[in-house]
């Protein structure tokens, strides 16, 4: 299974970014969900990696969320996803990923059930400044049996911890991949998705 689709010199994914038409050569489409707590970078990741204009449902945050939404560590955030984000990336000329970003605020988590339907796998975005917001997210994926990888989004002021420490803190099984990423960069977000695809491929292989 070959996932090479980038131009090493340009650091970008091959294929047009501005075209919104569906690829005519794709023979396989996969639904992937980008999940995580409030303000971890889900909308940013979908927007940075999508080769079409991403669909977003961001709304300006209002006083109604005060005391309800936990914005500790992201006090400067002024908008939030209230339904979903949607984007698309062609991994190869035959494989297309449809990306669905979930809302991070707990009061919108009832929407997750519909977004998880038909998803082959998920990316859990983590902010090391607020690891605790990831516990329930990972728990929901494990309950539903959705395979996932963990991507640690590197915020400028976020503390850096060794992978082993983070894995223990999140109580992650050894086989679940964990990678660093910068959700603002297309190449970095693409690499996270490639890690997920390789992980899903390994799970599909017969034992032994």
According to DSSP, the residues that pair with 4 across neighbouring strands are none
Domain ranges for the chain, please list them: 23-60+77-204
Which CATH superfamily, name and number, covers 23-60+77-204?
P-loop containing nucleotide triphosphate hydrolases (3.40.50.300)
d(CA 11, CA 111): 34
Look at residues 105, 95, 107, 126 and name the one whose alpha carbon lies nearest to residue 25: 95
CB atoms within 10 A of CB 141: 20
pLDDT in tens, the chain (208 residues): 433 334 433 444 444 444 444 455 567 899 999 999 888 999 999 999 999 998 876 555 444 444 444 555 545 444 554 457 899 999 888 899 999 998 855 655 556 566 788 999 999 999 999 999 899 899 989 999 999 999 999 998 899 999 999 999 999 999 999 999 999 999 999 999 999 999 999 999 887 6
Return the number of other C-beta atoms located less than 10 Å from residue 36's C-beta: 27
Task: Supply the Cα-derived Rg of the chain in whole angstroms.
Answer: 17
Q: pLDDT tens digits, residue range 59-118?
A: 554 444 444 445 555 454 445 544 578 999 998 888 999 999 988 556 555 565 667 889
What φ, ψ does residue 104 adopt, rounded to 5°?
-90, -25
pTM score, whole prediction: 0.76
Q: In angstroms, what CA-CA distances link 176 with 92, 96, 115, 166, 198?
A: 24, 23, 22, 12, 11
CA-to-CA separations, 171 to 35, 126, 151, in angstroms, rounded: 17, 13, 15
Strands 58-60 and 79-81: antiparallel
b/e string for 177-199 if b means 16 or more Cβ within 10 A?
Answer: ebbebbbebbbbbbbbbbbbbeb
Residue 157 has what DSSP assignment? T
């Amino acid at each position: 299974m070959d996932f090479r689709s980038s131009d090493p010199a340009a650091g970008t994914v091959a294929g047009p970014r501005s075209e919104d038409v569906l690829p005519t050569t794709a023979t396989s489409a996969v639904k992937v969900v980008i999940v995580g707590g409030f303000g971890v970078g889900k909308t940013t990741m979908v927007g940075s990696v999508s080769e079409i204009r991403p669909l977003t449902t961001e709304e300006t945050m209002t006083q109604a969320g005060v005391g309800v939404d936990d914005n500790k560590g992201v006090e400067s955030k002024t908008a939030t996803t209230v339904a979903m984000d949607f984007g698309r990336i062609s991994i190869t000329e035959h494989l297309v990923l449809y990306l669905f970003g979930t809302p991070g605020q707990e009061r919108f988590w009832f929407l997750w059930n519909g977004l998880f339907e038909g998803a082959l796998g998920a990316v859990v975005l983590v902010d090391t400044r607020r690891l605790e917001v990831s516990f329930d997210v990972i728990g929901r994926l494990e309950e539903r049996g959705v395979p996932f990888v963990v991507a640690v989004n590197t915020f400028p002021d976020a503390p850096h911890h060794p992978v082993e420490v983070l894995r223990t803190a999140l109580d992650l099984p050894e086989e679940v991949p964990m990678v660093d990423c910068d959700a603002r960069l297309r190449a970095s977000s693409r690499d996270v998705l490639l890690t997920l695809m390789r992980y899903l491929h390994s799970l599909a292989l017969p034992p032994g």
